[in-house]
Structure formats: structure tokens, C-alpha cells
Amino acid sequence: MRADLVVRAGRAVVDHSEQACAVVVRAGTVAEILSLDAPVAAEAELRLADDEVLLPGLVDTHVHVDEPGRTEWEGFATATAAAAAGGVTTIVDMPLNSVPPTVDVAALDVKRKAAAEQCLVDVGFWGGAVPGKIADLAALHAAGVFGVKCFLLDSGVEEFPPLDAAGLREAMTAVAAFGGLLLVHAEDADVIEAAPAARGRQYAGFLASRPHEAEDAAIRVVLDEARATGARVHLVHLASADALRMVAHARADGVRVSVETCPHYLALTADDVPDGSTEFKCCPPIRDAGNRDGLWRGLADGVVDIVVSDHSPCPPELKHPGTGDFGAAWGGIASLQLGLAVVWTEARTRGRTLVDVVRWMASGPADVAGLPHKGRIAVGADADLVVFAPEQTTVVDPARLLHRHPVTPYAGRELAGVVRRTLLRGRPIDGEPRGRLLRRGEA
């Protein structure tokens, strides 16, 4: 049978290694992986240049799209355009910042209707676990969310309140019963309450208001509850390298826990943040250089599983650029378009390879979410492919960012690696919204 496309790459990340190959695409999936110059009858052929590497499309499982309800913050059209430009072919949308939050099946339906016929890449959804709605989690799971997320402290939006200790135990018990996944924003409210309040233009004051002890204390509770209930848990946006030892010990005890960190924690340090530069504010905060190095060791050791963006945009005025007040500014970094280049820029200076980056940003996130047909170049997988020039450099120009508001802490920073082409199921992403809305368990 004639193929739709053959992609010939002198370098491709396939089966946990770099190799030369020809990737044959039929009906949107990878049908064969052959030697580079194997004869293939195909409707079209794409041959990569000598400076290009073929990667699987990245999978970003931590994206706040915010539509509907706060579409002026971010929407599906703009978020998925930014994703495609950054080599991301699948995103999983977080349940909060949009209104209504995705805490029951009715709200999930609202989300799906808002996303329909807008998406340039494939989109899945997380559900939310909030007080009074734990009984809805099984139905959300059955409706196809990839897991449910909770906060252990104020989320920043009143419609998504945190779980207390009893609520966390209730949520974990429920999730364990139906074999789901609980994502946890793990910071301890009492530790933060006892810390000095964040105010003013100095980043050091904000950093002191969210000490690493807040993460460590909350993670300890999460691990203890996971051990007691048998629930599978995932720690989102880990910033404190101090917590990694207890995660490793919990795994050794059989606790089912996975961990993500984010590009900003791997690339930036507290010393990089000028006074008043609230575009650097996120929660948990960017910490010191020693902590950053500890996170890299966690990736190398396999304690940190994946790297995802935590793309959390807002209108520029909510960053309070006029005052530069870290206490008043919204906490969140929009980096969906830049994550691959940011991570690769840092990874290559530390002796890591594109094989590592693909594991952290493509196959790993797909495995955490339960998307076996995503994030890899393999027979039977979706032909989501990225043509990447790892040695080409570019300087970040906010005006070229495609997410809704061009606010970024990376402005003016030189990054290595340029995405030259992104394909979704073997077709170039060209502005036509061909992204699918994904459900857990679907092929």
C-alpha cells in the first residue's frame, strides 16, 4: 500500500537512541521505520537537512488554557498555535483558571465545547478535586479526563479551593478506588502563613515568602497519604530539590509517585531576577543556583520524571509592571512555545542529549498521562513529528511569541535549538485547526 509520507532523517530520536532512518506514515500513524534510503512508494517525501534532527512531537501535560471564562488570559487557538511553534503536538489542559473549573462532567463538557474546532494540536483535559466535589471524580474519570488535580493551599482563584488534610485523604481514597491519578500542587499553607508576606520590588522578599520548607512539608504529607491509601500521585512543578530524597525513599517503599519540574526551574535562578521584574514570578518560586543544580541531578538520577511548561499566562496588567510589586503580581510563567529550546540550551551544557530531552518532554509526559500513542517515533504511534535544528540559535523576541500575551522572562535571551517544522499525524501544522480532543483510554 502506498504511503502518505516518508520522512528521511540522518538523525532521528527513535527507540531511546539517535539513528538514521526513514519514517513511513500511513493514515496519520507511523507504519514502518526503515533504513535511511530504503525504497518507499509514497505520495510525498520529506528529507531533513544535515543540521536537522527528527524528534517526536512533545507532550506538555501542564498547560492552563483558561478558556472559557478567562479567555482574555489565554485561549485554545492561541495556546495551541504557541504549542505547535514550540514543537508541542499534544497538551493536557489544567482544570483551573477557566470558568467553570473542570470539577464535574458538566464543566468538562463546557471545556470541550469551547475547544472544539479551534485547536492546532491535540488536547486532553485534567479534572479537578475540590471540597464538596470528591463524589464527582469517578464520573470525571469515566468521562475521559487523564487524572484529577488538587491544591493544598489557596490556588489564587476562588472557584478552585484547596483540600484540607481530610479532603486530601478522601480524594486519594476515591482515586485509588477507580485506579486514577491525583496531581498535587504541594505547598504547605501553614508554613507559608508563618513566612514573611511578599511585598515590594525585591525578588528576595517574594522568595522568602514561599520557602522550600513549604514544598517539603506538603510533599511529605502527600507521600504519607499515598502510602496509606495506595493512590497513584503526581507532584506538579517541583521546585525544591531538597524534596527529592524523600521521593526516592517513598518509591523504594512502593509508593506510586511521579514528579515533574519546569523549564524555568532548570534554566533560571533567583540571582537572574532584577528588581521589579514580575514576569519571573511563579509559585513555587525560582530558587538559587544550587537548587537548580539539584533538580538537574534529579533528572539525571530519574527521580524527576518529566519536564513540562506549567504555562500559566495572564493579561500583562496582572503582572503589575508599573509597580513591579511581587506581592501583588499574578504568579505564572508562559513558556509553552519556548520550553524545548530553554531545556535544550541548558541540557547540552550539562552533557545531556536530545534522547534525554525527548524522554523528559515527550515520551515521559505521555506515559504519566497514559498516552501510549504519543511522544515517540514508533510503529503504531501517531505520526506527530518535529524537525529541530539543535545548533541554530535565536534571541527571544516577545513580539514573535504566539500565546495571547507576549510576556516572558526569557526576553532577549539567546537560546539554542529552533523548531523548523511541526507535523500532526503526518500533516504540517499550517493554521487549520485539525487537533483532536483526547479522552483517556482511547487509541
All three cell numbers of 321, joined, read 509592571
pLDDT of residue 442: 83
Q: What is the Cα–Cα distance from 123 to 57, expressed in whole angstroms?
A: 13
Cα 408 to its chain centre, rounded Å, is: 16
Across the chain, how many H-helices and E-strands are there? 13, 17
Give the other-Cβ count within 10 Å of 72's Cβ: 12
Q: ∠ CA(381), CA(382), CA(387), 5° rounding?
A: 110
pLDDT along the chain (443 residues), means of 10: 96 97 98 98 98 98 98 98 98 98 98 98 98 98 98 97 98 98 98 95 97 98 98 98 98 98 98 96 98 98 98 97 97 97 98 98 98 98 98 97 96 98 98 97 76
Q: What is the Cα–Cα distance from 134 to 132, expressed in whole angstroms?
A: 6
320 CB contacts (<8 Å, ≥6 apart)? 278, 328, 329
Q: What is the Cα–Cα distance from 396 to 205, expressed in whole angstroms?
A: 28
Q: Which of 315, 358, 367 is nearest to 340 (CA)?
A: 358
Can you list the domains of the chain with their CATH numbers? 57-380+389-415 (3.20.20.140)
Asked whether 96 and 65 are in contact (CB, 8 A), the reply is no
Asked whether 86 and 336 are in contact (CB, 8 A), the reply is yes
Residue 390 three-state SS: strand
Fill in the DSSP letter of residue 263. Answer: H
Give the other-Cβ count within 10 Å of 83's Cβ: 33
How is 155-193 classified by DSSP, letter by letter? -SSTTSPPP-HHHHHHHHHHHHHHT-EEEEE---HHHHH
Q: What is Dmax (Cα atoms) for the chain? A: 68
